[in-house]
Amino acid sequence: MQRLEGKVALITGASRGIGRAIAVAFGQAGASVAVTARSTQALETLATEVGQGRGEALAMTADLNVAADIQRIADTALNRFGRIDILVNNAGIVHPRVDLVDFDPALWRQVIDVNLVAAAMLTKAILPSMIANQSGKIINLSSIGGRRGDKGRSAYRVTKAGLISLTESVAAEVKPHGIDAVCICPGGVDTEGYREAFGSRGRTENPKLMRPQEIASLAVFLASDESSAVTGTAIDAFGSANPLFT
Ligand code: NDP
């Protein structure tokens, strides 16, 4: 029996990076996965890869900046699989370092919408099904940046702090229904998004960066029945960025 055998997961931001690694790891652990992002081709390739495992895969192109897309992916996944056992709100965008005084208001709102509002609204759309089943796991991707503010990073860090708070509130609301909600707060992970945001060449340049698979392994545990003691909390996965080592 694999850890996620028979489970159904919905993962946002799965076209690359941490979300893709989580989708692959969940598939290897026996889950069926519904994956979403804006990049159709990357999702189709991922779905083909995951679909060769024990579970099924469903690719859904969607823009989390569009409210109707959020409801559509929830409905499509629920229609296809009949239920969602695990929701991973992973999709996120980073913005260039800019002080609030100079920040483009439209970009500030877009970061909030994609990183925070979409996670809340997708959770809201999936929760009735989890409540009906009296079971479920919600995993939100916050960040080491959710632990404190930083110059030039206001919108991103507000969303990541907000996800920690959202997780606590939702966990308190749904624990009576057998549903757990947790946050993962990664330190630096070598992904396309990280490389773009920081002009980095990844682990070739900074071997202290984590691999996306290291976060995926934690997500597999949190998605599994073994993690029943863990809810309403944010788990730091800082790797070598842990202040203990710096
Ligand atoms: P990437 O930039 O590599 O991937 C982001 C994913 O989000 C992509 O699949 C992208 O797909 C999707 N996405 C972005 N905007 C939208 C949108 N409007 N609608 C739908 N999907 C969208 O990010 P990472 O893998 O590095 O990060 C994943 C999560 O982990 C993020 O929330 C990030 O903040 C967090 N994190 C990452 C860290 C790191 O060092 N990498 C550290 C701490 C936290 P597409 O472009 O196809 O839409």
Is residue 2 assigned to a domain? no
Is residue 36 assigned to a domain? yes
- Average pLDDT on 171-189 reads 98
Question: Are 14 and 44 in contact, with CB atoms under 8 Å apart?
Answer: no
Is residue 190 assigned to a domain? yes
Average pLDDT over the chain reads: 97
Is the per-residue pLDDT at 53 higher than 80?
A: yes
Largest CA distance in the chain: 55
Q: Which residue has the tokens 């599994």?
A: 224
Task: Give the model's pLDDT for residue 223.
Answer: 98
CATH number of the domain to which 180 belongs: 3.40.50.720
Is residue 187 assigned to a domain? yes
Look at ligand 1, atom 6, and give the residue with the nearest C-alpha: 13
Residues 195-222 pLDDT 10s: 999 999 999 999 999 999 999 999 999 9
Question: Catalytic residue positions?
Answer: 156
Percent of the chain whose pLDDT exceeds 70: 100
Say if ligand 1 is within 6 A of residue 30 CB.
no
Residues in contact with 205: Cβ distance below 8 Å, sequence separation at least 6, in sequence order:
none
Is residue 1 assigned to a domain? no
Say if ligand 1 is within 6 A of residue 39 CB.
yes
Is residue 3 assigned to a domain? no
Residues 217-240 pLDDT 10s: 999 999 999 999 999 999 999 998
Q: Give the chain's domain count.
A: 1
Is the per-residue pLDDT at 1 higher than 90?
A: no
String of DSSP letters for 116-129: IIHHHHHHHHHHHH
What is the 55 CA–ligand 1 centroid distance (Å)? Answer: 24
Task: Give the model's pLDDT for residue 51.
Answer: 87
Task: Give the model's pLDDT for residue 242.
Answer: 84
Confidence of residue 243 (pLDDT cuts 50, 70, 90): confident
Say if ligand 1 is within 6 A of residue 239 CB.
no
Q: Which domain holds residue 143?
A: 8-245
Residues 92-151 pLDDT 10s: 999 999 999 999 999 999 999 999 999 999 999 999 999 999 999 999 999 999 999 999
What is the 93 CA–ligand 1 centroid distance (Å)? Answer: 6
Say if ligand 1 is within 6 A of residue 185 CB.
no
Is residue 90 assigned to a domain? yes
Is residue 75 assigned to a domain? yes
Task: Give the model's pLDDT for residue 74.
Answer: 98
